[in-house]
Amino acid sequence: MAAEVSRELLAETLGSALEEAAFVFAEDTGEPPPFEGRVIEARLSFVGPQEGELVLAVAPRFASMVAANLLGEDEGGAEATGDDGDAVGEMLNMLAGTFVVELFGEEPCRLGLPRVSQASGEEHERTLAAATAASTMVDEDGNRIDLALRVGGRQE
């Protein structure tokens, strides 16, 4: 492996992608605000020297803002058209591409397609508890952004 799995690696990857693709500036935090209501979760599996899954979780209002920034739209329109979930999936797709290169270097790796769903805050907390590593960031508006990684067995 090119890099070790860590909260710091997840935070660095997430922070860079948010800044470059969605024009969002966020900081890593050890004391995140709770998610209120539903959480939009995007999941993406990968298979390479190790197999696993990345999970990106955000509140619906943050997803709407990311969609607007990615699509060059006014904020709020993406939620009405369903582009907010798609934007979270696309953001995870970008993150995964960068992350597997950081993690595995030049080793071949296959990425799955992002799967987007909604979860309760409790369901999402269980996802975080089962993760190999997780990072939580907060943007300048107080929005919580989680990136979790679950790593499984080694591929032969």
Percent of the chain with pLDDT over 70: 87
Domains and CATH numbers, the chain: 7-15+39-61+92-154 (3.40.1550.10)
Beta bridge partners of residue 50, listed in sequence order = 154
> DSSP letters of 58-121?
E-HHHHHHHHHHHHT--TTHHHHHTHHHHHHHHHHHHHHHHHHHHHHTTS--EE---EEEEE-H
The mean pLDDT of 15-38, rounded to a whole number, is: 81
pLDDT digits (tens, 9 = 90+) for 71-128: 766 555 444 456 678 889 998 998 898 888 888 888 889 999 999 999 998 999 999 9
Residue 52's pLDDT is 92
pLDDT at 153: 56
Q: Which two tokens stand for residue 11?
A: 């935070």
Q: Which two tokens stand for residue 12?
A: 């660095």
Q: What's the CA gap between 107 and 116, in Å, rounded?
A: 27
Token reading at 112: 């799955």
* Whole-number pLDDT of residue 92: 92
pLDDT digits (tens, 9 = 90+) for 41-73: 999 999 988 899 999 999 888 888 888 877 766
